[in-house]
Structure 1
Amino acid sequence: MGHREDLLEGAKRCLLEKGFVRTTARDIVKESGTNLGSIGYHYGSKDALLVEAYIALVEPMGTDFDGARTGAGAGESSLERFRRVWENVIRSVPEMRPIWMMTLEVITQRERLAGIRELLIGAQKEGTAGMAALFTGIEESELPDDVIESEGRFYTTLLNGLMVQWLFDPESATTAEQLTEGLRRVMDRAAETG
């Protein structure tokens, strides 16, 4: 591996151990076996490197959510897909806890992470598109903007709320079955009222 890859791997390990706020450039250099100048040369700044490391940690989660572990059912209904994806999300919480905690850190430490926050906002639309693709079954590259902006935002909002519940108290957190039943009832009520 070259310095660029070493830095990225070192930054990922630092993020998992220390989070965004407590990770310093010196921590990354020590963990990666590189030098301080390499950060600026390859990534422009420590913040940009940390954002790339965070995104690299989060990206594989979409595969787990979609069914790499439980398999997608052929001919499943939208509600069955909805439940299956949420089951996979919930199943990921214990092993992905450090990544979920980092996400909360970014949200709650907004003022301390101004540089990182701006970079992550740029990546947020990609995450929203990924959520829309998971639930609709439409390839991300083929999603219309209106689906990303409506359904993608809806699923992302549910994800953030569910994540907080499962990190705070897994014993009382909403299950995939409860979430699916809630959606079914909301849809039925909307159909009744027109």
Structure 2
Amino acid sequence: MGHREDLLEGAKKCLVEKGFVRTTARDVVSASGTNLASIGYHYGSKDALLTQAFTALMQEWGENFRSGLPQGGGALERFRAVWEGVLAQHEAGGPVWAAGLEVALSREERPELRAMLAASQAEGRRGLVSILAGIPEDELDARDERTLGAFCQALLNGLMVQRLLDPDSAATAEELTEGMRRAAEAVTGPADTL
């Protein structure tokens, strides 16, 4: 590996161990075996590097269970299988989710970092729609991303916050699937059933 790849791997390690806010450029350099100048040369800034590392960690997290999803069955079975995979990966992904929340909750203290992470949301939404609906990403359009993608992202972020705050009371995959089924029935049935 070259310095660029070493920096990315070191930044991923730092994000998991320390999060965004506590990770310094020196931490990344120490974890990667590179030098401070390499960060600016390859990524422009520590925040840009950490954002790319965060995106890479999220992609890896999603790929860990994507291949194990059922190819047949109905939409609810796929929905449940996805959430089972998400929850099974929570232990490994928890620090990454906590790092993302750190940035979200920092309000205006880190505007550049927030902007970089916000820009990566579109890619995340496309990936979530692809995973949950079983549709290849290249077949999705902007409307899929803005509607179904935003909905899936809200579910995922909400579930991760529940798990971070109180894992014992957070919804299970079965409960989330039943909730989705009931919500779908409620919104597609007569108005007086709500």
Fold-level similarity (TM above 0.5): yes
Call closer, same or farther: CA 1:190–1:10 in 2, change over 3 Å.
closer
- In structure 1, runs of 5+ residues without a counterpart are none
Structure 1 runs (4+) deviating above 3 angstroms are none
**Equivalences for 1:55-70 in 2 at 5 Å?**
55-66=55-66, 68=67
Is the 1:64–1:89 contact (alpha carbons within 8 Å) kept by the matching residues of 2?
Answer: no
CA-CA distance at 1:110 after TM superposition: 3.1
CA-CA distance at 1:30 after TM superposition: 2.1
Give, in whole Å, the separation in 2 of the partners of 1:109 and 1:40: 24
Equivalent of 1:113, from 92, 110, 115? 110
Give, in whole Å, the separation in 2 of the partners of 1:22 and 1:192: 49
2:126 pairs with 1:129? yes
Give, in whole Å, the separation in 2 of the partners of 1:7 and 1:72: 32
Q: Superposition RMSD on alpha carbons, in Å?
A: 1.5
**Equivalences for 1:49-128 in 2 at 5 Å?**
49-66=49-66, 68=67, 71-128=68-125
Equivalent of 1:172, from 166, 169, 174? 169
Superposed CA deviations along residues 88-138 of structure 1, whole A, max 9, x for unmatched, are: 111111122211211211211232322211111111100011111111111
Superposed CA deviations along residues 7-27 of structure 1, whole A, max 9, x for unmatched, are: 112211221111111111122
**2:187 maps to which residue?**
190
Call closer, same or farther: CA 1:172–1:5 in 2, change over 3 Å.
same
Amino acid paired to 2:56: A
Is the 1:21–1:112 contact (alpha carbons within 8 Å) kept by the matching residues of 2?
Answer: no
Give, in whole Å, the separation in 1 of the partners of 2:58 and 2:95: 11
CA-CA distance at 1:187 after TM superposition: 1.8
- Count of aligned pairs between the two proteins: 191
Superposed CA deviations along residues 61-109 of structure 1, whole A, max 9, x for unmatched, are: 222343x3xx333421011111110111111111222112112112112
Work out the percentage of aligned pairs sharing the same amino acid: 53
- In structure 2, runs of 5+ residues without a counterpart are none
**2:136 maps to which residue?**
139
**1:42 maps to which residue?**
42
Select between 147-156 and 180-189 the one with higher mean Cα deviation: 180-189
Amino acid paired to 1:48: A
1:161 match: secondary structure: helix
Superposed CA deviations along residues 157-194 of structure 1, whole A, max 9, x for unmatched, are: 00011001111111111111111111111222233217
Select between 85-94 and 110-119 the one with higher mean Cα deviation: 110-119
